[in-house]
Amino acid sequence: MNTLEKIQKNLANFSKSERKVAEVILANPQTAIQSSIATLAKMADVSEPTVNRFCRRLDTKGFPDFKLHLAQSLANGTPYVSRHVEVNDSADAYSNKIFESSMAALDSARQSIDPQQINRAVDMLTQADQISFFGLGASAAVAHDALNKFFRFNVPVVCFDDVLMMRMSCINAREGAVVVLFSHTGRTKTLVDIARLAKENHAQVIAVTSKDSPLSKEATLAVTMDVPEDTDLYMPMASRLAQMVAVDVLATGFTLRRGPRFRENLKRVKEALKESRFEKPQPL
Amino acid sequence: MNTLEKIQKNLANFSKSERKVAEVILANPQTAIQSSIATLAKMADVSEPTVNRFCRRLDTKGFPDFKLHLAQSLANGTPYVSRHVEVNDSADAYSNKIFESSMAALDSARQSIDPQQINRAVDMLTQADQISFFGLGASAAVAHDALNKFFRFNVPVVCFDDVLMMRMSCINAREGAVVVLFSHTGRTKTLVDIARLAKENHAQVIAVTSKDSPLSKEATLAVTMDVPEDTDLYMPMASRLAQMVAVDVLATGFTLRRGPRFRENLKRVKEALKESRFEKPQPL
DNA sequence: AGAATGATGTAATTTAACTACATTAGAATG
DNA sequence: CATTCTAATGTAGTTAAATTACATCATTCT
């Protein structure tokens, strides 16, 4: 756990003098990590060993080690002890919290993603004659985004956020088709049906979803990630961000697999956009 | 800049012995921050003052200060020195790099966003009779996502990723309409035209884009963010992620502004989804 | 080849952190 | 209310770590 949060949480368990230390640190953590034990002791109006004991109580080896831990918890730019939005938060406060919790969610996704799954998914995608991206609700935006990315690769791609269209598209599927389904929970009944339908029509199914979900079991290959659930009502879903980054990862794997000539192609697509833009003023 | 990157970047500028130190640190940064200057010197097979000089060269006050900086750069879970994808990267490598650069981009956006702009945008949105979200290319997905979010608020919302539809919609605009435009560069000519058209028809225009761009100047209100540009071919646009989080921030501001009764409403919308899902197995 | 500059190491010094012990404050018991 | 015990805090001494000053070595340029 974040050291700063830990201090905040244990405030009640500290002794009188230790609490003084805690308060000085919470009030100005950035100063704390730059101070010596003597300075900090003076600021909190306690003795040096008290500061040292305080550090040990937080499961660190001593003062320098404590500073290291504190520095790490500050590094994430987390001046806010809690990442949960409160009713009376200022714009600055909730903006920071939302960005931070989004970043934390991405980190969690990063740690839980399995490179082998990525590799296999890239295999399937590079060999596909046709790729379809399906998503409902919030994941519809992800499917659109995937379309926008893979479209540049000059592969036949489609994208649907409508169940009927998905169904029809699956019925027409043939061998060589790959269907990519996005769903955070992996529990949406219609999507699981679609996965089954696609398989029945000889398409391969990649599910970008959460581990052990019905959808992940139905799919030919599941690319799974752990993303903290949005239990908090005010907290928007970080899952679609993680899914988008997963799309980026797959697209990157795709371009790497396709080799240098293919990448030349991409550059041209990018440059084709230039004409539709106002020129950027060149820095002097 | 991230200390670890800095070391990597300056490798050529270091002297022979300093490079030894750099390599030992790069090889195992986690060990480095837990070592004393003596241990590290021994590991790099150099003298202690050399390590000290190395630290100073990186603009730190000395060894302990250097460790602090290094700890901070490790905190973001950055085991990869470079965030740029290389041709021969493994799936694990490029996956991590992409997640990390996405997180870095969000952090940069977080730091550059202006809470006052957020506040004013929330003002405008809460008072709107009708909200339109427009985006082209990669930002189309963001517009869709915004629709999905604001749709729950029981406000008339539309979303277009087609220029003609945008135009028609603007022509029918009246006072009380708010148009939200998403564009990373803010230089897409057609979008700037749309902004002008919307204003001519008495709609208010919010642009989620980059600072000082043509679009930001044309808009009634610009919500601007600095997101590192995707100079690298393999590096996908992180801008759309930042835009999505910005949408989350605006949506959160919206719900907070609307008060508790409104939030009850949201809960009901969320619960309405339950029936379409497979039940989650309850943990024992 | 020799001087001069920059890099590196050695040893001494300073500073910071930690330990052991003494003192004090506060709680519990008669 | 006094007394004793325990926990908390501080003092002083010790150890370890980091830094400085200086000496030596390598390298480059004339």
Q: Check whether B128 has a pLDDT greater than 80.
A: yes
Provide the 10 A C-beta neighbour count for residue A86.
11
For residues B11 and B181, the model is more confident at B181
The reported pLDDT for the residue numbered A190 is 93
Interface probe for B, chosen from A33, A68, A270 (most Cβ of B below 10 Å), is A68
The reported pLDDT for the residue numbered A142 is 95
What value does the mean pLDDT take over residues A160-178?
93
**In the structure, what pLDDT confidence band is assigned to residue B79 with cuts at 50, 70 and 90?**
very low
Q: Is-contact A187 B277, C-beta < 8 A?
A: yes
Q: Is-contact A205 A218, C-beta < 8 A?
A: yes
> A206 - beta bridge partners?
A180, A221
Question: How far from chain centre, in Å, is Cα B53?
Answer: 36
Judged by CB atoms closer than 8 Å, whether chains meet at A241 and B236 is answered as no
Q: Check whether B77 has a pLDDT greater than 60.
A: no
Tell me if residue B23 falls in helix, strand or coil: helix
- Per-residue tokens: B179: 């148009």
- Residues carrying CATH 3.40.50.10490, chain B: 113-274
The reported pLDDT for the residue numbered A107 is 85
Q: Which of residues 250-279 of A touch B (CB under 8 A)?
A: 251-253, 255-256, 263, 266-267, 270, 273, 276-279
Closest by CA position to A97, among listed A112, A78, A119: A78
In terms of average pLDDT, the best of A20-34, A63-77, B134-148 is B134-148
**In the structure, what pLDDT confidence band is assigned to residue A5 with cuts at 50, 70 and 90?**
confident
Amino acid letter, residue A239 = S
Q: Check whether B26 has a pLDDT greater than 90.
A: no
Q: Distance from residue B12 (CA) to nucleotide C3 (C1'), in Å?
A: 28
User: Tell me: the pLDDT tens digits for B212-270?
Assistant: 899 999 999 999 998 877 656 666 678 899 999 999 999 999 988 887 777 776 677 66
Q: Which fold has domain A3-75?
A: Arc Repressor Mutant, subunit A (1.10.10)
Q: What DSSP character marks residue B272?
A: H
Q: Distance from residue B101 (CA) to nucleotide D14 (C1'), in Å?
A: 48
Return the percentage of chain A with pLDDT > 70, whole number. 89
Choice among A4-13, B45-54, B272-281 with the minimum mean pLDDT? B272-281
Closest by CA position to B152, among listed A71, A137, A160, A196: A137
Q: Is-contact B55 B62, C-beta < 8 A?
A: yes
Name the protein residue, with chain letter, whose CA is nearest the C1' of D26. Answer: B16
What value does the mean pLDDT take over residues B33-53?
90
- Residues carrying CATH 1.10.10.10, chain B: 3-75
User: Tell me: the pLDDT tens digits for B173-207?
Assistant: 888 999 999 999 899 899 999 999 999 999 999 99
In the 40-59 segment of chain A, residues within 7 Å (Cβ) of strand C are 48-49, 52, 55
Angstrom distance (rounded) from CA B103 to CA B210? 18
Class of the domain covering A111-274: alpha beta
What value does the mean pLDDT take over residues A115-138?
95
The reported pLDDT for the residue numbered B235 is 61
In terms of average pLDDT, the best of A19-23, A230-234, B80-84 is A19-23
Judged by CB atoms closer than 8 Å, whether chains meet at B91 and A118 is answered as yes
| Domain spanning B113-274: CATH superfamily | Glucose-6-phosphate isomerase like protein; domain 1 (3.40.50.10490)
Strand order in the sheet with A221-224: A157-160, A130-135, A177-182, A204-209, A221-224
Q: Check whether B121 has a pLDDT greater than 80.
A: yes
**What is the H or E stretch that residue B107 is in?**
helix B91-112
Angstrom distance (rounded) from CA B109 to CA B23? 32
- Residues carrying CATH 3.40.50.10490, chain A: 111-274
Covered bases, chain D (protein CB within 7 Å): 7-12, 16-21
What value does the mean pLDDT take over residues B116-132?
96
Q: Check whether A123 has a pLDDT greater than 60.
A: yes
The reported pLDDT for the residue numbered A81 is 46
